[in-house]
Amino acid sequence: MNHLKSLISLPQLAMVVVLCAVVDPTLAAERPNIILLMGDDHGWDETGYNGHPHLKTPVLDEMASTGLRLDRFYSAHPSCSPTRGSVMTGRHPNRYGTFSPGYSIRPEEVTIAHLLNEAGYICGHFGKWHLGPVKSSSPTNPGAMGFHEWLSHDNFFELDPVFSRNGGKPQKFEGESSEIVIAETIKFLATAQQKKQPFFTVVWFGSPHEPYSGLKKDLALYDDLPAAYADKQVRLTSNETGRPTRRPLRDVLQERYAEITAMDRSIGQLRNWLQQQGLRDNTLLWYCGDNGTPGDGIVTSPYRGQKGNMYEGGLRVPGVIEWPAKISKPVTSKVNAITSDILPTLCTLTSTAIPDRPLDGISLSPVIDGNMTERPEPVGFWAFSTGAEAKNKPYIDAKFQQGTTPLVKMMGDIYTRNFKNYHHSTIVDDDFAGSRVLLGNRYKLVVQSNRGGELKSELFDLRDDPAESKNLVAAKPKVASAMQQELREWQQSVLNSLTTADY
């Protein structure tokens, strides 16, 4: 428990002690190795296996055709930092104030890395972090959140990325960013193999987040995109100035697709290495996106909406699990699943006790076993209205929230990402505002309001209307009312957590 002692006060430690099972080294050696992979702004339709008319993703396609394909997989939030927090904690990000990009996690959160660390796993993080600065002095860097090793960036990155190794001074790496991240991951895995420890590794790519770029060989794959795309201009970041610019959609898509293909290829390099080392059968490889496709890249999605909103296009993402020792035949699941499910699922699969605090995810082990056909409870989504948060006391001193790894994109007047988080001690009616969703096995309720009210509700039957084109609130008032009440009760639970009641 030494690592958790350094992070958590004595009263909190007393609570966490009950979370961690006594580790039998023999049992730990029999547990699966685990690698979590995540694309940045990679939406549901942007894979060959989901029918994209242009993209070439042969590795993800093979994983989907031989493993567990999660066709109704969701990010916990329509933007990146909150979703990443849900992966780490199994909790909705509003519970700990990670409301949107630029909001950090809180040091008291218990992560899957903490838990697997204590269960005998060697834990590494590679790539995008975005839950706080990655520097050594940050109380929310990957090391503070349970990882033994990390080569990470505060935010997203492009070709020739700059990373901090274990919180040290940022250094530049020449080459394609996804391949660099995977090469560094493989070095870490080789060390774990030498130590004869099971490994837990998180690989969060910088692709395909804008601003876009690509290798010539990858760009050449998309020279034949439809000419009609050139007629539309889209807004994104300039690689030259770091400021907003407008460019033809065809050029932008060529670069975006090149990044996705390079990411796909790098995943193949990882799978090949695992195969060569005899590790692939008992390694659980889980790929997903962190939110839907952004407006500068969404051209073929069958769903309504995009990154940043609560419709299917903003929340539904690719989800694939490959684990040959356990998933020997291809399976396609229609069960609603979400990034918050990752922590409880991994705890179940490794016989690790979960945190004794409210979770929003459930274990998907019955899905892996083929014993779950519907989710036993609905899923809540919520984009918190942050307008009044800056009036509250900062949760972490500003000097510890300053990023160090440079970006191409300017954030205000700086080329780095700084973070924030606030105390929230009192719950008021306006705190329930913001776009939110309750997703059931059939119906989806979407509610939108701001801190002044202006309520709008929509109810969709996703099984009959996956494009969310028909609002059924008037036609099914009892369903809408019941879901409204359940959504409100869930929000109350989330707000209780936000006040630090769980610590």
Written as one string, the DSSP assignment of 15-45 is HHHTTSPPPPHHHHHHSPEEEEEEESS--TT
Q: What is the pLDDT along the chain (503 residues), one digit of tens a residue?
A: 333 333 333 233 333 333 333 344 444 447 999 999 999 999 999 999 999 999 999 999 999 999 999 999 999 999 999 999 999 999 999 999 999 999 999 999 999 999 999 999 999 999 999 999 999 999 999 999 999 999 999 999 999 999 999 999 999 999 999 999 999 999 999 999 999 999 999 999 999 999 999 999 999 999 999 999 999 999 999 999 999 999 999 999 999 999 999 999 999 999 999 999 999 999 999 999 999 999 999 999 999 999 999 999 999 999 999 999 999 999 999 999 999 999 999 999 999 999 999 999 999 999 999 999 999 999 999 999 999 999 999 999 999 999 999 999 999 889 999 999 999 999 999 999 999 999 999 999 999 987 777 789 999 999 999 999 999 999 999 999 999 999 999 999 999 999 999 99
Ranges for all domains in the chain classified under CATH 3.40.720.10: 2-376
- Is CATH 3.30.1120.10 the classification given to domain 382-396+418-498? yes
How far is the C-alpha of 263 from the C-alpha of 423, rounded, in Å? Answer: 38
- 235 secondary structure, DSSP code: E
CATH of domain 2-376: 3.40.720.10
Q: What 3-state DSSP class applies to 83?
A: helix
Sign of the torsion formed by the C-alpha atoms of 118, 119, 121 and 127: negative
Q: Could you tell me whether strands 171-172 and 162-165 are parallel, antiparallel, or unpaired per DSSP bridges?
A: antiparallel
Contact 365, 327 (CB under 8 A): no
Residues 264-282 have pLDDT tens digits of 999 999 999 999 999 999 9
Q: Which amino acid is at 420?
A: K
Counting every residue, how long is the chain? 503
Sign of the torsion formed by the C-alpha atoms of 303, 304, 305 and 311: negative
**Residue 203 phi/psi, 5° resolution?**
-120, 105
* Burial of 489 (C-beta count, 10 Å sphere; 0-12/13-18/19+): exposed
Q: What 3-state DSSP class applies to 156?
A: coil
Q: Which amino acid is at 130?
A: H
For residue 455, the model assigns a pLDDT of: 82
97: Cβ contacts below 8 Å, ≥ 6 apart? 103, 104, 106, 389, 395, 421, 422, 424, 498
Residues pairing with 172 in the sheet: 162
| Joined tokens for residue 322 | 């490959």
Residues 375-429 have pLDDT tens digits of 999 999 999 999 999 999 999 999 999 999 999 999 988 999 999 999 999 999 9
Tally of CA atoms within 13 A in the half-sphere of 422 that contains its CB: 14
How far is the C-alpha of 11 from the C-alpha of 346, rounded, in Å? Answer: 26
Q: Which amino acid is at 435?
A: S
- Residue of 443, 477, 489 whose CA lies nearest to 462: 443
Cβ of 501: how many Cβ atoms within 10 Å?
A: 12
User: What separation in angstroms does the CA of 410 have from each of 55, 210, 238, 239?
Assistant: 29, 12, 10, 10
Q: What 3-state DSSP class applies to 59?
A: helix
- Bond preceding residue 211 cis, omega within 30 of 0: yes
- Residue of 40, 71, 65, 69 whose CA lies nearest to 316: 71
Please report where in the chains the tokens 């590794």 appear, as a residue. 201
* Burial of 428 (C-beta count, 10 Å sphere; 0-12/13-18/19+): exposed
Ranges for all domains in the chain classified under CATH 3.30.1120.10: 382-396+418-498
Q: What 3-state DSSP class applies to 95?
A: helix
Cβ of 328: how many Cβ atoms within 10 Å?
A: 11
| Joined tokens for residue 246 | 């407008």
Largest CA distance in the chain: 63
For residue 454, the model assigns a pLDDT of: 72
